[in-house]
Chain A
Amino acid sequence: MRRPARHPLLCIVPPHLLAHLALQRDPRLRDIADRALRTLLASEQFRGARSAVGGLVMRGPASAAGKQRIVFDAAHGGVLPGRRVRGEGDQPAGDPAVNEAFDGLGATWDLFFEAYARNSIDGRGARLDASVHYRVDFDNAFWDGRQMVFGDGDGVIFERFTKSVDVIGHELAHAVTQHAANLVYEGQPGALNEHVSDVFGSLVKQKALGQAADQADWLIGAGLFAPGVRGRALRSMKNPGTAYDDRRIGRDPQPAHMRDYVDTPEDNGGVHINSGIPNRAFCLAALAFGGPAWERAGRVWYLALTEALGPRSDFEAIAKATSEIAGREFGRSAATTVADAWRACGVAPAPPRPRPAPPRRKGAHLADQRVPERRVRRATAGTRG
């Protein structure tokens, strides 16, 4: 199927733009769209982009139309998926939870396709299914391996979980991880699984709002707390440990640095706690790059997830992978930017070298380079102090 037909213009167009062009429905752009699709397929350079359009071709021209979404209503029961209430091309429903889920699925699909040329969660155009109104007063949202599930919240601590678009992005990113690095959901790989979901959840929101890195709130789950709860959100990627402090739910337990890593048997080894450390590293890298976070930092992390990481990857492995990929994609200074971000959080991008390396970084970072060796793991669980 591969043809050498490359339009001279399209050769230098980045894959995410090619992907965007390939999906144009305007008949006047059909020729360009076809060429964009062929260029993507012909390109040996962008493995991810090629797998992204593979699904489009297999499904024929009709599915080149793009995203396929269905929202179901579990009607407060525990049986999934429930009754189909809105599909692609349907009018908006009268139920805000249905429409929020539908739009959130779309915003997530858009981020992965437009920024990283990935066609849906599996890279092959998989349909995105979500169920709303799961059980009664259900304080959670999760990916069950096949679809997304949203509760309505109890109305006392939590509002409905579709209110925050980054929650939807977070859950679908778990599906992407499942099809890519497949990080085990335990300990450091589990915290990275959570981290990657927070990254792409936040990027879905930032891209939907058209925000640059320095304009974003870097919060996860803003708007989920019911009135009266003292907290801005569930997590802060910029300042982990500061998202909430409330009499009923306690204080945000996330560490921002490796020296505060929480060792606990609960929550699969604190996967929702220790994700604060890589979250901050990503945020620092994105702020240092400047501009829209999904373009540079997001691209680096996406490539690490899909090309470099595996089920047992730990913090040092992602630090090393993202530093190397940043260098490959954006040059040596980008590698330094990413490595510095990890060091600021106490994570060394690579194992210590056998011989003493001459100090290349600024003085401020020298102290942090030794941190992984004196890493202290807390024996206490759950909360700080």
Chain B
Amino acid sequence: MRISVCRSGGFAGLRRERAVDTERLPPPEREAVEHLVIEARFFDLPERDTSGLPDVIHYRVRVELHGRSHEVATDERAAPDPLVELARRVLADAE
């Protein structure tokens, strides 16, 4: 499973981007990340769902799995918690 995350906005307006192939992650991390994709029901999420609130952090998340792909543009107030957690986790090692 390939997961790409781009973060933008927030009060700071900082942009951060990272993509991971979950196959290359340590097994516990791989399991946690893939579980979040399932928990968020990622492939059922609308392509765009934003709160319109000022200064919230925006995420663009793309997941590719077995030739299937889906991309979601959302923010930390509109997205389901597992998706926010997924985005934060993928980006956590970007620094």
**Chain A residues near B (Cβ < 8 Å):** 78, 139-145, 156-158, 161, 167, 170-171, 174, 184-185, 193-194, 197, 221, 224, 234-235, 248-250, 253, 265-268, 271-273, 381-383
Q: Are B15 and A383 in contact (CB under 8 A)?
A: yes
Chain B: number of interface residues, binned into ranges: 20 to 34
Q: Are B81 and A141 in contact (CB under 8 A)?
A: no
Q: Are B54 and A193 in contact (CB under 8 A)?
A: yes
Q: Are A250 and B15 in contact (CB under 8 A)?
A: yes
Q: Are A157 and B95 in contact (CB under 8 A)?
A: yes
Q: Are A234 and B55 in contact (CB under 8 A)?
A: no
CA–CA, A272 and B9, complex, Å? 7
Q: Are B13 and A197 in contact (CB under 8 A)?
A: no
Task: Determine chain B's interface SS by DSSP, over half rule.
Answer: loop
Q: Are B54 and A267 in contact (CB under 8 A)?
A: no
Closest 6 CB pairs of A and B: A272-B13, A266-B8, A142-B55, A267-B8, A267-B9, A174-B54
CA–CA, A167 and B81, complex, Å? 25
Q: Are A143 and B55 in contact (CB under 8 A)?
A: yes
Q: Are A234 and B12 in contact (CB under 8 A)?
A: yes
Q: Are B12 and A143 in contact (CB under 8 A)?
A: no
Q: Which residues of B contact A253 (CB under 8 A)?
A: 13, 15
Question: Chain B nearest CB: distance from A224 CB in Å?
Answer: 8
Interface residue? B60 (CB, 8 A): yes
In the complex, which residue of chain B has the Cβ closest to the Cβ of A235?
A: B13
Interface residue? B57 (CB, 8 A): yes
Q: Are A185 and B15 in contact (CB under 8 A)?
A: no
Interface residue? B27 (CB, 8 A): no
CA–CA, A145 and B14, complex, Å? 22
Task: Using A185-B54, A248-B95 as known contacts, say yes or no to A382 and B11 having CB atoms under 8 A apart.
Answer: no
Interface residue? B10 (CB, 8 A): yes
Q: Which residues of B contact A266 (CB under 8 A)?
A: 6, 8-9, 15, 58, 60
Interface residue? B56 (CB, 8 A): yes
Q: Which residues of B contact A224 (CB under 8 A)?
A: 12
Q: Are A170 and B95 in contact (CB under 8 A)?
A: no
Q: Which residues of B contact A250 (CB under 8 A)?
A: 14-15
Interface residue? B62 (CB, 8 A): no
Q: Are A143 and B95 in contact (CB under 8 A)?
A: no
Interface residue? B53 (CB, 8 A): yes
Q: Are A140 and B11 in contact (CB under 8 A)?
A: yes
Q: Are B60 and A142 in contact (CB under 8 A)?
A: no
In the complex, which residue of chain B has the Cβ closest to the Cβ of A220?
A: B11
Q: Are B95 and A78 in contact (CB under 8 A)?
A: no
In the complex, which residue of chain B has the Cβ closest to the Cβ of A157?
A: B95
Residue of B14, B16, B52 ringed by the most chain A CB atoms within 10 A: B14
Interface residue? B77 (CB, 8 A): yes
